[in-house]
Amino acid sequence: MTWTVQNLWLIPALPLLAAGVTALLKQRHRTLAASLAIGSMVVAFFLACSAFAQTLGGHGEGDAALRQVFNFPWFQLGTGSLKIGWVLDPLTASMLVMVTFVSTLIFIYSVGYMAHDENFTRFFTFLALFAAAMLGLVIANNLLMLFMCWELVGLASYLLIGFWYHKPSAAAAAKKAFITTRIGDVGFFIGLLWLYSETGTLLFYDGGNGCLEQSALAKLVGTSVAGGMAVSTAISLLIFCGAVGKSGQVPLHVWLPDAMEGPTPVSALIHAATMVAAGVFLMARVFPLLADPTSTAREVVTWVGAITAIFAALVAVAQTDIKRILAYSTVSQLGFMFIGLGAGGVAVGMFHLLTHAFFKALLFLGAGSVIHGCHEEQDIRRMGGLRKYMPVTFATYAIGMMALSGVPLLFSGFWSKDEILHSALAWSPSKIPFVLGLVGAFLTAFYMTRQMWFVFFGKPAIAPAVTGSKAAGHGSTQLHGVEAHESPGLMTMPLVILAVCAVLLSVVGTPAWPWLESYLNGQAAIWNFDRLLESGTLVTMIISAIVAGAGIATGWIAYSRPGAVVADLDPLARTFPRLFRILENRFFIDELYQATVIRLTAMLGLASHWMDRLVWGGVVEAVSWIMLGVAWVNRFLDENVVNGGFDGACDSVRGSSRLASRFQGGQVQAYLKVIAIGLVVLTIFALWGWRS
């Protein structure tokens, strides 16, 4: 075992240490806090790269040769112990590099974005905590350890969504995010317990004894539960519940758009690039459980992904908040990843996860730059023409937009989405996910064009200072009367780097050289240009290129026509007013939940409360009245019969004091007497029963 594997724990431990130290710093130590957080991430990045390099050798020897684990006992349990540990394999290594790289850039960007925030130091504490938890999740070789880190990223997400805690909406969104994802986590937790009780271990890989290794899998697939479902399927469906929550899949997607209440770097890092992808990563990690292509679990994953992909894309079309559009887009793209995972396997889902991480982080940071430049305006209808004032943001945003829309050949998003559509087309149970995916892809191109047009083209709604006085005449479309400006270099530099990645990442996953797929499967990648021209591949490529082109063209035509947008009214809203209203209101899902689940919970709460008050409380009341009655009878007998003769004389002497004491602790004494008498009677009874 190499030094890197043995010390893989340093990768999450460094940011954790940074989080611990900055948590104790006073607010004024801004520079120190930021440098600690960024420094720890840079070191973690280099460690991740060295770990990545480790996994590059040994191609062609299959997947086991590439996997190195380090396990150790955490605590004693019965005659054995519970072991945790970490694993280094291509899946872990590729995630490590992506997470540390994107995080480092976003940390740097945050220095600029959060410069004026009074809780700057705390912000970096939470960011570092998040990175630590996420990296711990990635290296975990034990489902329990993964679950623990999973909960901790949930905590970091909670803290960061609610970072501007004085805003009630932010506080509510933070709570909603934590609770909604925890609903899924309950399923995950039960799945985990079940897996543990079936296999007796939660270590993924343990030299043949792990729960994802041959002997355990054979047992899981072989056993079936009621209804004939294999245990492995039931367990993977339960674990998938957790993924649905964390990755914002229907029906637990409601928290993710609200999470945009957090500062924009948070949205970029957590709610677009990394944490929300943890659900996809989780399913990729436990993929051996659902490796059987005919497994129901895979069908469920694919269908949930397909429904989410189209649902969220539809909603995104009618949103007006720049970050919410991206949020729904994220939900939709995560759906694509699940289609890929379900229909195509780990490599297909992971490829889109990795490319999406870069271009979605880019888009969010770009959106942050726009918001920053427009003085905290987030409504795209109040922007416009920004390409002139924010050229770098515009150029990089355009690259991100084209990658997301799937513009052919040059952009990574095209290749990864193409892989997904290709595998959906080849999926035997049904072709509907493929069709839904295509429509989703079309809508993606459409809403991104719509957003581009509103923000960067069109009529400048925010006038630069020189034209400020003239623009003031427009009144409603002019914002604050202040100048839109390009963001500082600290913020644009990460944009440029991410934009380069959004393009370059194409090379690792084209059909001609499917390096990533081979890498994840532990094989050597072979260059074969002909694969590009195989009929299936080529057809999908052409279809998806046409779909992307059509989406962009439709969007451009719909919005760029002069007079397309009148008085903030979207052309779609004019053409399809009722449909638009439904989309704008996100299919009224939040309202539905409000009226059902949330109301039901509140009612159960009240029911339990009144049950205590009336039913149980009533019984207690009745019992205590009966006891009180007995006590009074007893006291009467006590005073008049038992003590009558003896106490009679003394009563006049100590009368008052005795009465007083009776009333102070008297009732307790009365109870005690009743009980004592009862005791004597029952003891006699018991002893009598014994003798006879």
Partner 1 sequence: MSSLPLISILTLVPILGGIAILLFGAGRNTAKHIALGSSAVAGLLAIVLWTSFDPALKQLQFVERHLWLPSMGIEYFVGIDGLGLVMVLLAAIVVPFAIAATGEITDRPQLHFALQLFLQAGLFGSFTALNFFHWFIFWELSLIPAFFLVKLWGGPNRTSAAYQFFVYTLVGSVAMLLAFLALYAASGTFDFIQLAELSRNGTLMTSVTSKLHWPGVLPEHVPMILFAGAFLGFAVKVPVVPFHTWLPATYSEAPTSVSMVLTGAMSKMGVYGFLRIVLPIFPHEMNAALPVLMWLAVATILASSFAALAQQDLKRIVAYSSINHLGYCLLGIFAVAKLSATGAASELEKTTALNGVVLQMFNHGITAAALFCFVGLIESRSGGARSLSDFGGLRKVAPVFCGLMGITLFSSIGLPGLNGFVGEFLIFKGAFGIEKIPTAVSALGLLVTAVFFLGILQRVWSGPLASRWPAFPDLTTREKFLVAPVIVLMFVLGVCPQLLIGLFNGTMTQLTQHLKF
> 629: exposed, middle or buried (C-beta count within 10 Å: 0-12, 13-18, 19+)?
exposed
Query: H or E segment at 459?
Result: none
Name the H helices within 3-89: 3-6, 10-24, 30-54
Contact 499, 403 (CB under 8 A): no
149 binds partner 1 (CB under 8 A): yes
User: 611-626 in b/e burial notation, b at 16+ Cβ within 10 A?
Assistant: eeeeeeeeeeeeeeee
Distance CA 161, CA 153 (A): 12
One-letter identity of residue 569: L
Closest CB to partner 1 among residues 75, 646: 75
Among 171, 398, 482, 582, interactor with partner 1 by CB under 8 A: 171
Among 472, 538, 542, 686, interactor with partner 1 by CB under 8 A: 686
Distance CA 174, CA 518 (A): 40
CB of 255 to partner 1, least distance (A): 13
Distance CA 622, CA 274 (A): 59
13 binds partner 1 (CB under 8 A): no
CB of 683 to partner 1, least distance (A): 5
489 binds partner 1 (CB under 8 A): no
Site residues (CB under 8 A) for partner 1, limited to 191-220: 193-194, 196-197, 200
Q: Which range of residues in 88-96, 267-275, 434-442, 669-677 is near partner 1 by CB under 8 A?
A: 669-677
9 binds partner 1 (CB under 8 A): no
Closest CB to partner 1 among residues 256, 362: 256
SS (H, E, C) 604-667: HHHHHHHHHHHHHHHHHHHHHHHHHHHHHHHHHHHHHHHCHHHHHHHHHHHHHHHHHHHHHHHH
682 binds partner 1 (CB under 8 A): yes
Q: Which range of residues in 350-358, 386-394, 514-522, 614-622 is near partner 1 by CB under 8 A?
A: 614-622
CB of 588 to partner 1, least distance (A): 23
Tokens 């009148």: give the residue.
Answer: 566
Among 2, 61, 65, 165, interactor with partner 1 by CB under 8 A: 165
Distance CA 235, CA 242 (A): 11
CB of 430 to partner 1, least distance (A): 31
Query: H or E segment at 75?
Result: strand 68-77
Q: Which range of residues in 443-451, 465-473, 584-592, 667-675 is near partner 1 by CB under 8 A?
A: 667-675
227 binds partner 1 (CB under 8 A): no
- Tokens representing 539 are 């057809």
Q: Are strands 68-77 and 80-88 parallel, antiparallel or unpaired?
A: antiparallel
CA 139 to chain centroid: 18
Q: Which range of residues in 3-11, 408-416, 599-607, 642-650 is near partner 1 by CB under 8 A?
A: 599-607
Tokens 């350890």: give the residue.
Answer: 145
Closest CB to partner 1 among residues 62, 605: 605
597 binds partner 1 (CB under 8 A): no
CB of 473 to partner 1, least distance (A): 36
Closest CB to partner 1 among residues 376, 530: 376
607 binds partner 1 (CB under 8 A): yes
Q: Which range of residues in 316-324, 504-512, 530-538, 616-624 is near partner 1 by CB under 8 A?
A: 616-624
Among 223, 560, 624, 640, interactor with partner 1 by CB under 8 A: 624
CB of 178 to partner 1, least distance (A): 6
Contact 243, 279 (CB under 8 A): yes
Contact 317, 333 (CB under 8 A): no
- Tokens representing 30 are 């801004």
532 binds partner 1 (CB under 8 A): no
- Tokens representing 349 are 């889902």
CB of 514 to partner 1, least distance (A): 37
CB of 194 to partner 1, least distance (A): 7
CB of 243 to partner 1, least distance (A): 17
Overall residue count recorded for the chain in this entry: 692
- Tokens representing 654 are 């100590």
680 binds partner 1 (CB under 8 A): no
**φ, ψ for residue 85, nearest 5 deg:** 175, -175
Contact 560, 457 (CB under 8 A): yes
CA 353 to chain centroid: 14
Q: What is the per-residue binding string for partner 1 in 548-587, x denoting contact by CB under 8 A?
A: ----------------------------------------
CB of 315 to partner 1, least distance (A): 26
CB of 78 to partner 1, least distance (A): 4
CB of 201 to partner 1, least distance (A): 11
Distance CA 334, CA 353 (A): 8
User: 510 has which bridge partners?
Assistant: 513
80 binds partner 1 (CB under 8 A): yes
622 binds partner 1 (CB under 8 A): no
Q: How many residues bind partner 1 (CB under 8 A)?
A: 70
Closest CB to partner 1 among residues 13, 97: 13
Among 218, 619, 642, 650, interactor with partner 1 by CB under 8 A: 619
User: 87 has which bridge partners?
Assistant: 69
663 binds partner 1 (CB under 8 A): no
Contact 74, 212 (CB under 8 A): no
CB of 332 to partner 1, least distance (A): 27
190 binds partner 1 (CB under 8 A): yes
For 676, residues 6+ apart whose C-beta sits below 8 A from its C-beta are none
- For residue 168, is the peptide bond before it cis, meaning its omega torsion is within 30 degrees of 0? no
CB of 327 to partner 1, least distance (A): 21
For 502, residues 6+ apart whose C-beta sits below 8 A from its C-beta are 355, 358, 359, 362, 399, 400, 403, 411, 412, 413
Distance CA 134, CA 148 (A): 10
Contact 463, 445 (CB under 8 A): no
Among 151, 321, 486, 584, interactor with partner 1 by CB under 8 A: 151
CB of 604 to partner 1, least distance (A): 5
Q: Which range of residues in 177-185, 298-306, 369-377, 470-478 is near partner 1 by CB under 8 A?
A: 177-185
Contact 113, 263 (CB under 8 A): yes
User: 80 has which bridge partners?
Assistant: 77
CB of 544 to partner 1, least distance (A): 40
Site residues (CB under 8 A) for partner 1, limited to 127-146: 144
Among 45, 86, 178, 255, interactor with partner 1 by CB under 8 A: 178
CB of 618 to partner 1, least distance (A): 10
> Rule CB under 8 A: which residues touch partner 1?
74-80, 144, 147-149, 151-152, 155, 158, 162, 165-168, 170-172, 174-175, 178-179, 182-183, 186, 189-190, 193-194, 196-197, 200, 601-602, 604-609, 611-612, 615-617, 619-620, 623-624, 627, 667-668, 671-672, 675, 678-679, 682-683, 685-687, 689-690, 692
